[in-house]
Amino acid sequence: MTTYKGINGFAVQSVATDPSPLNEGQVWYNNATYAFKLAAVTTAGTFASGGNLNTGRALLAGFGTQTAAVAAGGYADLDNDTTATELYNGTAWTNNPTGLNTGRREMSGVGTQTAGLVFGGFIDAPAPVTGQQVITESWNGSTWSPVNSMNTARNGLGGFGIQTAAVAIGGLDVGELPPFQFTELWNGTSWTTNPTGLNTGRRSMGTSGTQTAGLAFGGDTFPPPSTVTTTSATESWNGSAWTSVNSMNTARFSLAGAGTQTSALAIGGAPSSPTVTGATELWNGTSWTTNPNSLATARTGLNGQTSGTQALGIVFGGFTPPVSAATEEFTGPGAPVTKTITTS
């Protein structure tokens, strides 16, 4: 009789916990649940609930990966800009003993769980110094250190890259007048204003990528006297200039972005104020496709990773209303997932 070992040259592995990471086609026996399992590929991206933030908040900064993320700042209520910093291990969030030096909201963050950067933002009353900020802070995995400030104070800006090579784009400046096209480059020591900015000036957009290959999508163009005008515009960055590319299917602002320049995620946000959405779109380097599955908790002002892979995303926090502590992890499409083998 033909056996699995005879075909593959080895027996099915017996384990107490499912293996990670998974390889497509991998088969094993889970002796704790008494089930044969295999790694299959998703046909559509799916969301699963992760551990809740300890401090529910919106308009926070976030960076890292699905199994090693950082959440910093934001507001727990309209009059409370927090310094809180939390670390995610793929299962739960832990409060870091020290938080940001300056509590604020609507800033941007880039990097990894052990080497990050946050910049810009907004401080609300009753703090002594309020309004748009130029503040930049560097993260070493346990503490924040102030470093050289941005050239233009702004909030609602986008960002992508790493701790030593980042890009800051758009946002609302002190004058609160469009266009919000600013682009600044961080070299690990200081910020330099780029000669050309975004083609579509905006705030509160989604972003992904690196300092030499980035993507910006969605946002709010805020033309007076309107308070919110959403856009679906998408632009690609080559390290020195922006090029307009195909637009998103759903125009929105205050959304989360993840991935790379050619493989990105756009998650949640607000198509209009105060409407929120859980809609998720996938970018393949040419166009956006609406994912069949949306966030379980629709929200705006959420955040997540700005780099990493499209197949393994994470988003956390936001405003539903009220503020949310929810974390959701995105898998796929095309990523291996665990399936239980049955006889049906």
Share of the chain above pLDDT 70, in %: 94
What are the pLDDT digits (tens) for 37-65? Answer: 888 777 789 999 999 999 999 999 999 99
Mean pLDDT for the stretch of residues 295-323: 89
CATH 3.30.365.10 fits 46-331, yes or no: no
Q: What is the pLDDT of residue 176?
A: 76
List pLDDT tens digits, range 211-226. 999 999 999 998 777 7
Looking at residue 128, what is its pLDDT? 62
Give the residue, 340 or 279, on which the prediction is more confident.
Answer: 279
Q: pLDDT by residue (tens digit) across 101-117?
A: 999 999 999 999 999 99
State yes or no: pLDDT of 7 exceeds 60. no
Statement: residue 22 has pLDDT above 80: no
Token pair 């600013």 is found at 182
Is pLDDT of 260 > 90? yes
Q: Highest mean pLDDT: which of 26-35, 167-176, 249-258? A: 249-258
Please report which confidence band the pLDDT of residue 23 belongs to, taking 50, 70 and 90 as the band edges: confident
Q: What is the pLDDT of residues 114-167, one digit of tens each?
A: 999 999 999 986 666 779 999 999 999 999 999 999 999 999 999 999 999 999
Which pLDDT value is given to residue 344? 58
Q: Residue ranges per domain, the chain?
A: 4-41, 46-331
In which element (H, E) is residue 212 found?
none
Copy the structure tokens of residue 248: 């998103």
**Torsion angle of the four alpha carbons 127, 130, 134, 140, in this order, in degrees rounded to the nearest 10:** 20
CA angle 11, 24, 258 (to 5 degrees): 145
Work out the burial of residue 1: count CB atoms within 10 Å of its CB; fewer than 13 is exposed, 13-18 middle, 19 or more buried.
exposed
